[in-house]
Structure 1
Amino acid sequence: MKIHQLEGFIQNIFLVEYPDKLLLLDGCCRADVPLVKSFITQDLGRPFEQLKLIMVTHMHPDHAGGASYLQRHYAIDVAAANCPGEWYQGVAGRCQHLVDLGLAYYVGRRHQRRRANLWYPPVIKADHRLHDCQLIPGFNDWQVLFTPGHTDRDLSLYHPTSQTLYVADTILRVKGKLICPFPISQPAAYRASLERYRPLEVSQYLLAHGQGGVISSEELSALQQLCPNSPSTYKGFLGSLIRKRFA
């Protein structure tokens, strides 16, 4: 097994290579699809059909957008958390989907990316709905961990043999410092998710945003302390800006 890290539109992409198959650890942006396909067929010299499964750790544009496109156009299986309902359900959810797309475009501009099509459906039709501690179908050396907090359905992906843990957006590194994600929809669940990492044997953390590597137990504790006591949401953030403006 070999893990390749690619620089995506606004996030790191992790492609796991085996002699006869490939696994995409997260769904990336829709704009990243040509990059992933080119890397597989040209850099690796492998048939694109060997990409057998795409994990979706949560429904944000840089983690689900490419998965939806690849599923529709190349019939590649998609796996996600087995949670009731949908993250972007209802009118409020559809509005949040548009806000998240707008933020992805904003971050792309901050990264000096060319404007690209990031649109993806707000509801994903997963071929596999996975439970906590379940092994990834077709890739039984990887285990799914249910680690909510950023959203209500975040997944982390653990490979015990290589002591590798992909944490998606649960931990970010910005300007060399580890920070909590934004938003945090469930603060208590977020702190509990960080606690789940502590007893694992992890020699390499893979982060969707920022450089991974070793993260100590003390650093996990520091992140738990940084986590707010109440949900940090876009609505609350905008409300605080308005209150400051008119205070």
Structure 2
Amino acid sequence: MKLHTLQGYIQQIHLVEEGDKLLLLDGCSRADVDNVCRFIRDELGRPLSHLAIIVVTHMHPDHAGGAHKLRECSGARIAAHPKARNWYAGLAGRSAHVIDVALTWWVASRLGKPKKYIWYNPLLRPDILLTDGQLLPEFDNWKVYFTPGHTDHDLSVMHIPSQRIYVADLMVKVKGELVPPYPVCHPNQYKRSLQTVRALKPASVLFAHVREQAGARIDFDEVLEHAPRLPKNHWHSTRNRISRKLGLNEKQHYV
């Protein structure tokens, strides 16, 4: 197994070579499609048809935005958790999608990146539905783990021989410290997911927004300590601001 890490629009892109097949560990953003295709053709000297599987760990713009277009270009199959298809469904889901696209542009501006076209279909059409504990089709050295919390459908994937695991947005880095991401939509599930990854004792951990880290150097207890007790996302943040103005107790919403 050979792992290539490319710099994406606002995240790292992890592309795996195994034999004559390629595995993309996330669907990246719509702005990254040309870069991924160029790398496969020009740097690896391979046809795009060698891209076999695109894992979508969750539906945010920098993880799912390029999946459909990359499938169209290469014929690769998209693999995701069953719940990913409905994350942006309905009026509330479409509103959240617009907000998440806007937040992606905001992050890009903070990184000094220009505004690029990143719009994508919010309703994923996966070819493969993944379940906790299964091996990735066509890549049986890779095992799938259901690690929700950031969303209700997050996935992590581990390369069994090397014990390297890709956890996407399970953790991010702020002021040099690993912390929970924003949003955390399901706090209890998020904590269980951290405990799941810790129990695996990975040799190293690959992230979307942090450089690869040795598993033994990650202080999972510290990240758990900073994990929110209540949901922390767009809707709850707005509701809590309104509640504070009205003098309501935040906990009243969750009784």
The offset of 1:237, in angstroms, is: 2.4
Instruction: Give the match's secondary structure for 1:225.
Output: helix
Instruction: Give the match's secondary structure for 1:118.
Output: coil
1:73-105: per-residue Cα shift (whole Å, max 9, x none)? 433210001238610111000100000000001
* Root-mean-square deviation over aligned CA pairs: 1.9
The residue number in structure 2 matching 1:156 is: 156
Look up the equivalent residue of 1:70 and give its one-letter code: L
Instruction: Give the match's secondary structure for 1:198.
Output: helix
Q: Which runs of 5+ in 1 are unaligned?
A: none
The residue number in structure 1 matching 2:8 is: 8
CA distance in 1: counterparts of 2:86 and 2:117, whole angstroms? 23
**Structure 1 residues 138 and 121, CA, compared in 2 at 3 Å: closer, same or farther?**
same
CA distance in 2: counterparts of 1:205 and 1:109, whole angstroms? 27
Count of aligned pairs: 247
The residue number in structure 2 matching 1:211 is: 211
The answer to whether the 8 A contact 2:48-2:73 is kept is: no
**Structure 1 residues 232 and 194, CA, compared in 2 at 3 Å: closer, same or farther?**
same
The answer to whether the 8 A contact 1:174-1:210 is kept is: no
Look up the equivalent residue of 1:25 and give its one-letter code: L
Q: Which runs of 5+ in 2 are unaligned?
A: 248-255
The answer to whether the 8 A contact 2:186-2:231 is kept is: yes
The residue number in structure 2 matching 1:70 is: 70
The TM-score with structure 1 as length reference comes to 0.94
Is 1:194 the counterpart of 2:194? The answer is yes
The residue number in structure 2 matching 1:100 is: 100
The answer to whether the 8 A contact 1:80-1:128 is kept is: yes
The residue number in structure 2 matching 1:120 is: 120
The answer to whether the 8 A contact 2:17-2:23 is kept is: yes
CA distance in 2: counterparts of 1:196 and 1:216, whole angstroms? 15
The TM-score with structure 2 as length reference comes to 0.91
Structure 1 runs (4+) deviating above 3 angstroms are 215-218, 238-247
The offset of 1:233, in angstroms, is: 1.0
Instruction: Give the match's secondary structure for 1:83.
Output: helix
Look up the equivalent residue of 1:72 and give its one-letter code: E
Instruction: Give the match's secondary structure for 2:219.
Output: helix
Q: Percent identity?
A: 43
The offset of 1:173, in angstroms, is: 1.9
**Structure 1 residues 57 and 85, CA, compared in 2 at 3 Å: closer, same or farther?**
closer
CA distance in 2: counterparts of 1:85 and 1:55, whole angstroms? 13
The answer to whether the 8 A contact 1:10-1:107 is kept is: yes
